[in-house]
Structures are given as structure tokens and as C-alpha cells.
A and B are shown apart, each in its own frame.
Chain A
């Protein structure tokens, strides 16, 4: 009841805060948003005779100063292109400028002033359509592979706004250079939980933009933030001020889990709806077959028209499916213009999963392709690319006919239940989406920071704001009988805890190759190593952040490395152990199989001895066993001969 009232109160505050500017001082702001902040961390190479590109940014009201705002595109065409090839730039769907390639060579910055989109639309969209040619022979051009145009990653938007402040929900714009979470240096359990949740929530909200989320324990004033490009969330424990308060790029939030939860439940208006992952509790009953439409996976369903091959790429991750599916199949629904009346080979549809060729269909005489085909589950990765490539075989290379193709959003993936978790990083993030539990040593700020960052990593990669229950280490009575039965666990503790982890951290260890006994990692006196381990604890998929050595700060460093959205190491996680050295060296190890093993130099490892001398042992057994078998035969295995019976 008390919680409900609190929520109502907070929601009211939220509404009020959203409708009324909290601070009404008009300030002119200039914001530069590089493309890399929008997810394009590398230059975008547009390939083919008519490649297209689009990028959009949200707007937060109609207070844009269009005279001052612009987008600057760094375009670099292929040097062999025919100079008369053209590049068309569109703004909000309208052609804004047409540029010949010769004007772009070798590389040129194109500045396009921005205009507000029609009322009702919340995104400014910039598009590039190009028509590239080298020779009059289309076929030869395509075959050469030199039809391309590069959009540089240093392209950027510059937005100049006249309105100083905006509602709270507009704070979550993915255009900052960095966001800092400022937490108190000393935290009690609710504060720690609120801090963890806040960090998790921010990672979720900024999952697409790759804005770094920084954890900082201390005072905001000591941070020198750029008021135009940096943002901060300050968790405070002051009961006199509103629960949520926005001051420009600063969001002040009271450090209570309820408050953060209310913030998580409100969907900022401008955010594209995230794919909601269904319940992933492995114990919960499931449907016989699960299905996910392309449209649910964010498929735009745009038709493409062009002269050459047309590619569609659906990028989805296992988290969107809710786990690692089994018996996976694809139902493809596509439409296209007829390429030929009699040549089915004029257009072929090829399907690839993560680069693995699945099937090909000759559809030149058809106008649609509806088919179902099985996908190899073993090729599934954490993030997957499903490519549908329509390959055009132009018969007339001088005057090729354009083809229009479209993959419908009603296409879908379906599967039959999920595979069991593996107890390794392969389970991240799809097995870490349900109701979780965080067990953390809140007395150790570095551990809390590291744990928050790992949690943030899970939220970001899992596309879900994870708000797990917090259990302080001080309340744990028995590590082998932790309370609750969550779907997953994240532990952040000192290394002395005895758990069923791949590496026991309380003592020196080495990671070796058992075949050649090469030592791949060895703990050195005086050094520290941050360690994140994946395993099953009490049957629950568990991540444990800890460290070896005497510098707990390395745990925070480990968290920071893993949570870095630019490096996005989560996509590289393999095996079941990650080690991070203070120098930032990041390694992962697979200690589940016989390939690598852990050795503890301080203790006699019978198992390793057995492994090392197993053939000797087997040989000994063969010999001794053989002798014993022979003795057994002599004693008990010979057929008893009845003596000659006495005469009757």
C-alpha cells in the first residue's frame, strides 16, 4: 500500500515535471552530434549502382533554429566513377541537393541546412541516393566492385535550439557525448539498489546511441562537464527536493528504487518502441512454437528499387528472441517486380544466416516468394544477420531494367522452445533478461561500480531495463543456499567467497594448456586481475565479478571495460572467464572443456596429475588388471573337473 501511494505520487510528479519546464530561463544551445553517437562508429560504404543511406535524429519540440542548424556529410566517392554519376541528398524525404561525383572528388564536406519536418513527425531524416556508373556497361561496372560511395564517420549534425529547457522525458536524447551517473560515496542498500537500477536504465535507454555511461561516486561539482554535450544523473538523498528534477542536462533523481522504477516505466515520447522481450523464466511454461515477426524485430519493410543486386539485412540478437532457440525456421514473405517473363534465373533470392548460405530460389518469372526454410541453430550468435539478397542478372547491360523488391514485415522467425543455458558467456544476454538477483558488497564502492557496469552491459545488450533485486553480501548467510530462485544472478563480491566458479579466486592460479602445459595466464604477486566468471550456481546462470590480488579497483575497471558501448566487448564474450588487467588488457578464457584448465600452484591437483599421467595409469591398469584377471581365472575361472566317479 505504501509503495502504491509512493508510485502515485511519483507519477504525478513525473507528469507535472513533464508538462512544465522546471527551469524556465531561455538559453541558446548549440549541440554537435557526430554520426558515431548515432551508432555509425565506422565510415559507411554504400555499394552498388544505386545505393541508399539514411540517418535520422529525434527533435524535441519545434524550437530548432533552422538558420543555424545543419548536417555536414563527409562524402568520398570511388575515384573511378564516371564524373557524371550523381548523388542526391534528401531531407525529410524531399530532394535537397543533387551533386555530381566530379564535385565530390576526392572527398568533400557537404553542408545541408536542416529544416523542421512536417508537424507531427519527430525525426529529421537525412537520406542519400546515388546513381553510380563507371562505364556504359552496367554489368561490367557491377562486376568491377568499384561502384561505391563512402559516408565518413566524422559527419555530424549541428543543432541550434532556442528553447532552453524541455520536459524530463526529453532528457533521454541519445545525442550526448557522455552521461555521468553521480552516486553518493557512501550508500545504503536502497541507495545502492537505486544506483544500480539507474545505471541499468540509462544503458537501456542509450543502447542504440553508444553514448558512454560513466559511473562516478562523489560530488557533481568536482566533475567538469560540458553543459552542451555532456549530461549527468545525480542520485541524491535529499528529501526536501522533488523526486525527479531536470536542470538542463542534469537530471536529479532521488536515490530510491521506487523513483527509478517509475522513471523506467515511463516511455519517453520520442523513443522508438523497443522490442519487449517476453518472460524468459526457464521454469515458466512455453508455447509449443514461438514466433517473432520481422516487424517486431524492427524491420522497416521499405521497398528497394535499383538496377543491381538488392540486399536486405535483418539484424537480430538472441535477446530479442528471448533465448537460444531450437528448431529455428524462417518464413519469408517477399514481393518484387517481375524480372523476366520466361527466365526464372533473371532474379534469384539468396538467403544467408551470419554469412552461411542457406538456400537460393530462382524467382525471375515470379512476383512473390513465400517460403519456409530451416535455419541452422549452430550458426546462431549473440547478434545475428539474416541477409536476403536479390541478385539481378541483367540481360541488357547497356540499358538495364530496374527491379523493385520488398521483404514484408509479416515474414517471421519461428522456433520450438529454447535450448538450455550453457553456464557460459554464450548465455549473455539472452539468459539474463528475466527476474534477476544482484548480490553485491555495497561496502566496497569499486565492486558496486563494477557490478553496476556489468548490469548496464546486460541491459544494453539485452535491450531491456533490468531492475534486479539487490541482496547485500552482508545479508548472505550461506553462499550455497542463496535465497530466492531468480532466473539469473549477478554477484559482485570479494574474491574469498567459495563458489562453483571456473576459477577459485582465493588463491594463486594459472590458466594452462593441458596438452603442452603452457601457462597462458599466471597470477603475479603484487598484481591484480579483474575477473568476470560465468557458471551455474544452484542451477541458475550466474555472473560473478571479482578480482584477484589486493586492488579491488580493478573490478570497477573490469566493469568499465565491459560496459564500454563503443568497444561493445559484450559481443566478443566467449568462454566462461574474462580477465582484465589494470593495464586494460582484456582476455576471455574457455575453461569448460579440456582445452584449457586452471591450476592452483599452491595445491596438489590430483585431477591434473591424473590427466597428465592418464595413459600411464591406464597402462598400469591394463597390466595389473590383466594379472588380476589371470589370477582370478586361475582361482575361480577354471572349469571344475569332476573326479572319476567311484564304481557303482
Chain B
């Protein structure tokens, strides 16, 4: 192993020749190594020294190695000797690089004899040194000692420690996270043990007391996303060379890496706090920023993409002109004007319905992201990234415990789950219920500041600031996702094109047989998610996302600006926005079961919000039609018009057409014949019947993929169901002008069917059937 030539420090400009001479003199005088001499002369800290040495010799740093996702520390290797042994020799075996090569953490002092020591234990072994400070090696030793301490304290038994080590080996997750998130030990207890082991003090109890102080300016030097991800927060700079940070896991070297990136060579003094403490402190420092970002990030970045401006002046002028022309036409050329209006309505109506028919047929034969069970089974836990799940909850205390239970059934390593329960800070009832449910430690509470607009996307945007996961999804409180959904999403991203920014899982209902509404809702969702969205995906058309179970790449989501908090169907808007930015959205063969709205008033409220959101989305993405055509392409643009705009027009015009039809049929009113030519009435009637027939047909085919054959005949009632949509659409239209950002809250927990009952009669977790 080559020794380090101190002259290279002079060549690198780190030391002057004079300083080198002083150092060498100090070495002779004290009989110490180069690093010690530098430290004693106050020329360079140990951390700085190994950083410089690493740069000059290309030897790897321990902290970089630990930060690399490819390697994991194997604490089992060091257990061949007692911890004090490694303390004495100042080195630590980290992991086998291959069968003969061992990665060994060494200090400057132990660098020269490390091979000798290692070969005493593993005679044929070669070593790759990982430069570390003595403190870092001590931390590794403490980590090794941690097991004994935990066993000794009675927190875990030997077998559990072995299991934890196994998980650590398999997943690479920090020991601290495994211990706390898998509920082996409470975070506070873990902190106490670490205090005993490391001598680092715990500051948990100081928070909120007069003795507490934190340099918020210092905190703002760091990216809150990084701090949230690695669970640390700087508290103050003790002196020029030392920084005091609060960490959850002092043994997690990745934190050191992040600190060194910001302040190279600085000495780190760690104090302990729980994950909740750090989240709380981050929230308290960045609360205003996060809150601002949650509301205004999109407005500030791209105001024309935000629904905060409901109508642009051009849209108002256009609407005003159209209305004036319409009135002028009605007053002067009544019959002709009505004919033109009816023709346009008919054209849009039948085109929109026909387009949905086409999509459904395409979706029936082609499903792109069909993930096989074998592919899911082949995934190893080690390769799974941290996955963030946002769960916005508002005024739903009754289903919080069910939600927590449901999340626990996800087939995903829990220590890699980052579940953020988004609670409105004034929603004390739900907060208390959530606390009372004693959620596992992978669930964090995020308190959303009370501000306008009070919408789900704002809460999600706020939660996004705390997301640690590489991927992110949203579930509603009452959702029951397929257990393997997260894994399927990961596979879809891996197999998908680089521009795939989101995958949408199907939604369906567990209480489908409860009443007419739930049956029709189930038919509608089955056709929407099983046929229509796959059709959109196959034709590479913009996909308006569904409310939940849409899985994102977190970085791309941030790049897109998150959700629009002013849009009440932020999901649909995000899907279209992603398409406009050149990204694609996919659909996966996994289902999330929800509670279908079973009460009419509640249903109308929910549907009016959705349709209002569609109106907002349609207006937003039609602010500059020419630009939209250029970015989306004419085909996609037309598809968007027919899909989003057509849906609105269909629901608004459907009752008018029915009214005409029934009035004409019953009264045979002569004035109708005077106002409309016969062909117009016949075409309208034809469109109405054809449109509703297609609606019935689509609902009928919807049952096949899930084998809900008992719902087939209910498809015949689709025209009545459409009329309910129409009622909701007129309510939406009214609200668009009066309360555009008002979030019509859907009340959950009204169903008498218990979770999992309807979806999986056998009691198993619901699985999609058919292909």
C-alpha cells in the first residue's frame, strides 16, 4: 500500500513549503503522524486532511462509500473481534467487495498497517482502504456495539438483532431507521441508548424550552429536502471549524457527507433528536417557505399554467363576444342561430362520445404497462428505493385507524416507506384520532398551515417538501391499494421510457353492490380506468390523472411544479401539464379500492367538484390554443378538447337534448318545427340516442375485465346516471363563477360495507381480475 507523500500537499497548494517544514518538524518532535501534526499545528482538521488526501491519491472516503447506494455496510464482518479491538487498531471492516477484497475503513494512522491487521484475521484477503476520521471509525464501532447495548438493555433480543442485521444487509437502510420504523424500539429510547453509547447529548427535551436556541440562518444554508431526507438539521456553528448538528442517527455517515459538501473539512459535533424533532424543527424554520411554495410555486414559476386566474381577459372577451353574437343571432336570425348552436352542440356531443368509444376499443385490446406477478416477485428489497406516500386527511377521524392499518398491508419494506399524513393544523379532531391510533414510525405527521385555498393539492404540495422518497404517490384516507402496487409502479418506471413521469393505478370500489349509485359508480370507474385510460395511453394522448394512486418520480414532480392548489382537479391538470412538457403518463394493472359515494347529495357535491376542476383545467390549457397545438400536436390537442371539453359539453347539453326530445315527443309543439328544421331535430334525436347507447355499451363492456357480471343490466340505467352528472355539471358551472377554488369535500365513511368486503368477498385483499 503506497504511503502518502506530504510534499504533494505543497504541490496541491494546500500547504506552503514553510508550513510543510513546520509540520515535519512537529512530526519529529512528537513522533506522530502527518495528520496529527497538521491538527496540532491547527493547519488542517482530520476531516479536511482525509478529504485532501482522497483528492490527491484517488483513495475513496468512507462517507462517500456509505453514501453510495451501491454498497452497504456489513456489521457482521466486524463481529469476529470485540469492538474494543477495532478501536485499538483504528480500522473497521466494512464489506466484501468481492471474494478476496475487503473494504476497510482506515485512519491516516492505521493506513500503513491495515493490510497486516486484516490478513491476521482473513489471511488471503486484499484490502481497499476507505479514508475515515477516527471519529467516523468510532461511530462504526459504536454501531457494532449498539446491538450489544440494545440486547443488554432488554430492548431487543439476540435473534431480533440478527434479524435487524439481516434487514440492514438486504436493504441497506440505516440501523436506526430499521429499529425505529419497524417498531423494534421507540425513537426516544433509541436516542437514549445512543446517548449512552456515543456520549452525544440528546437535545430532544430542550426543544421549546428557554434554553433552546437554533441558528436559523445556518439552517437555511442547507436544502430542506436534503435535511428531511437524511434527517439532520444544523443548530449552530460552535466556532469557525465546528458545527453543531442534530441528527436522528449519529452513526449515519451520509449526514457527514452532506455537511462536508456544504462546509468542506468542518468538524461536526452531533447532538441527538428524534425524526419527529427534526421534522418539527424543519417545519418551524421553513414553514413560511413551504407554505408559500405549496400555494404559489406554480403561480410564481408559470402563472399561465395556474388556475388561480380563472379566466384570462382574452377568454372573457371571447365569451362576451360569443354571447353578444349569439343574442344578435337569436334576435335577428333565430332559426338559423339555433340551428348553428344545436349543430355545434351535436357535433361536439357525438364527437366526444365517439372519441370515448374509440379510446375504449383501443384500451380493450392494448395495455402497455402490464406488470406480471413474476416480475414483482423478482424484485429484491435491497433494490427498492424509499417510497413516499402522501395521505391528505381532513375531518376524517373515523377512518384514520383503518387507513393506518391499510397502509401497513402494503408489500414494501416498511423502513423504506415514508408515509406523510397531511393534517390540517386546525383539524384537531383528526389529529387527535391519528395520535391515538399510535401509528408506526414510518408515518410522519405533517401539519398543514391554515391558509387559502384550503385544498387537497395545497396539502400535497406542502407534504412534497418533506418527501424523502425517490418515488411518490397519493392515497386518500379510505383507499385500499393492491399490496404490490408500489412495486408495480417501480417496475413500470423501470421498463417505461425516460419521459414517463407518472403511472396511474386503476381505481375501483369495495362497496359496489351497496345501492344504485355505487353500482353505477363502479361501472363508470371500471370503464374509465380499465378501458379509457389505457386507450389514451396506447394512443399516446394526454391522460387526466385520477384523484389518487398516481405514482410519480419525485424529482420530475418537483420539476413540473407540483400540483396546482387552485385547481380542484389538480390531478387531471397535472396529467395535461405533464403532456405539454413532453412527458408521458402511463397506466398500470393495479387497483386501489375506494369507498364509492353512496349518498346522492354527497355524490353530487363530489361530482360537481370534479366537473368544475375539468372546467378549470380546460380553461387553463386553452389560454393559448395556438401554443397548445404546437406543444401537444394537433391530434393530442383535439383529443384533449374532445376528452375534457367534450365531457363538459356532454353533461351540460345532455339534459337540454333530453328536454327537447321529450317535449317534442309529448307535445309535438309546432313552434319546434318552426324554429328547427326537421333534419336538425332528427339529427339531435339520433345523436342523443346514439350517445346514450354508446354510454350504455361502454358501461356494459366495463364489467368484463373485472367480471362484475351482476352489474351488466345496470348499464341500461346509464342515461339516468348521466342526468345526475348533468345536475352536478350545472352546479359546477355556477361554482366556477361564484366559488372557483372552493373544495367540495367528499364525506367518506358513509358506506355500510366494511373495507375489503365488496372488493374481495373471500376476504382476501382485492386483486384485479381478468387481464
Query: In the complex where A614-B331, A640-B308, A645-B293 touch, is A632 in contact with B299 (Cβ < 8 A)?
Result: no
Q: Please state if B673 and A642 are interface contacts (CB–CB under 8 Å).
A: no
Among candidates A610, A625, A638, residue contacting B320 with C-beta atoms closer than 8 Å: A625
B740 proximal to A (CB < 8 A) = yes
Give the bracket for the number of chain A residues in contact with chain B: 20 to 34
B674 proximal to A (CB < 8 A) = yes
Residue of B nearest to A480 (CB): B668
**Which of A214-222, A288-296, A616-624 lies at the interface with chain B?**
A616-624
Query: In the complex where A639-B303, A639-B309 touch, is A625 in contact with B670 (Cβ < 8 A)?
Result: no
Q: Please state if B311 and A622 are interface contacts (CB–CB under 8 Å).
A: no
Among candidates B303, B310, B671, residue contacting A636 with C-beta atoms closer than 8 Å: B310
A67 proximal to B (CB < 8 A) = no
Q: Please state if B309 and A640 are interface contacts (CB–CB under 8 Å).
A: yes
Residues 138-169 of chain A, each 1 if its beta carbon lies under 8 Å from chain B, else 0? 00000000000000000000000000000000
Residues 301-327 of chain B, each 1 if its beta carbon lies under 8 Å from chain A, else 0? 001001011111101110110011001
CA distance A358 to B93 in the complex (A): 109
Kindly list chain B residues whose C-beta atoms are within 8 Å of the C-beta of A643.
292, 296
Question: How distant is B511 from chain A, measured CB to nearest CB, in Å?
Answer: 37
20 additional contacts, CB 8 Å, given A643-B296, A648-B289?
Answer: A500-B674, A539-B678, A618-B327, A621-B323, A621-B324, A625-B323, A629-B316, A632-B316, A632-B737, A633-B313, A636-B310, A636-B740, A637-B311, A640-B299, A640-B303, A640-B308, A640-B309, A641-B299, A642-B292, A642-B299
19 A-B pairs in the complex with CB atoms less than 8 angstroms apart: A481-B668, A500-B674, A611-B331, A617-B327, A618-B324, A621-B324, A625-B320, A625-B323, A629-B316, A629-B317, A632-B311, A632-B316, A633-B311, A633-B316, A636-B737, A637-B313, A642-B292, A642-B299, A648-B220
Residue of B nearest to A613 (CB): B331
Among candidates B300, B319, B328, residue contacting A645 with C-beta atoms closer than 8 Å: B300
Residues 274-305 of chain B, each 1 if its beta carbon lies under 8 Å from chain A, else 0? 00000000000010110011001001100100
B332 proximal to A (CB < 8 A) = yes
CA distance A409 to B55 in the complex (A): 111
Question: How distant is B397 from chain A, measured CB to nearest CB, in Å?
Answer: 32
Residues 662-691 of chain B, each 1 if its beta carbon lies under 8 Å from chain A, else 0? 000001101101100010000000000000
Residue of B nearest to A501 (CB): B670
Kindly list chain A residues whose C-beta atoms are within 8 Å of the C-beta of B668.
480-481, 538
A499 proximal to B (CB < 8 A) = yes
Residue of A nearest to B332 (CB): A614
Question: How distant is A34 from chain B, measured CB to nearest CB, in Å?
Answer: 48
Question: How distant is B306 from chain A, measured CB to nearest CB, in Å?
Answer: 7
Which chain A residues have a beta carbon within 8 Å of chain B's beta carbons? Answer: 480-481, 499-501, 536, 538-539, 610-611, 614, 617-618, 621-622, 625-626, 629, 632-633, 636-643, 645-648
Q: Please state if A646 and B299 are interface contacts (CB–CB under 8 Å).
A: no
CA distance A38 to B306 in the complex (A): 86
CA distance A633 to B315 in the complex (A): 10
CA distance A481 to B669 in the complex (A): 11
Residue of A nearest to B740 (CB): A636
Kindly list chain A residues whose C-beta atoms are within 8 Å of the C-beta of B331.
610-611, 614, 617-618
Query: In the complex where A481-B668, A642-B296 touch, is A622 in contact with B220 (Cβ < 8 A)?
Result: no
CA distance A625 to B322 in the complex (A): 11
CA distance A625 to B303 in the complex (A): 27
Kindly list chain A residues whose C-beta atoms are within 8 Å of the C-beta of B286.
648
CA distance A648 to B290 in the complex (A): 9
Question: How distant is B131 from chain A, measured CB to nearest CB, in Å?
Answer: 33
Kindly list chain B residues whose C-beta atoms are within 8 Å of the C-beta of A632.
311, 316, 737
CA distance A640 to B674 in the complex (A): 48
CA distance A636 to B309 in the complex (A): 6
Q: Please state if B678 and A640 are interface contacts (CB–CB under 8 Å).
A: no
CA distance A539 to B323 in the complex (A): 32
Kindly list chain B residues whose C-beta atoms are within 8 Å of the C-beta of A645.
289, 292-293, 296, 300
CA distance A632 to B315 in the complex (A): 11
Residue of A nearest to B291 (CB): A646
Question: How distant is B350 from chain A, measured CB to nearest CB, in Å?
Answer: 23
Q: Please state if A637 and B324 are interface contacts (CB–CB under 8 Å).
A: no
Q: Please state if B316 and A536 are interface contacts (CB–CB under 8 Å).
A: no
Q: Please state if A626 and B320 are interface contacts (CB–CB under 8 Å).
A: yes
CA distance A645 to B737 in the complex (A): 29
Residue of B nearest to A630 (CB): B316
CA distance A638 to B670 in the complex (A): 47
Question: How distant is B734 from chain A, measured CB to nearest CB, in Å?
Answer: 13
Kindly list chain B residues whose C-beta atoms are within 8 Å of the C-beta of A647.
220, 289
Residue of B nearest to A502 (CB): B674
Residue of B nearest to A636 (CB): B310
Among candidates A536, A639, A646, residue contacting B289 with C-beta atoms closer than 8 Å: A646
Kindly list chain B residues whose C-beta atoms are within 8 Å of the C-beta of A636.
309-311, 737, 740
CA distance A641 to B308 in the complex (A): 9
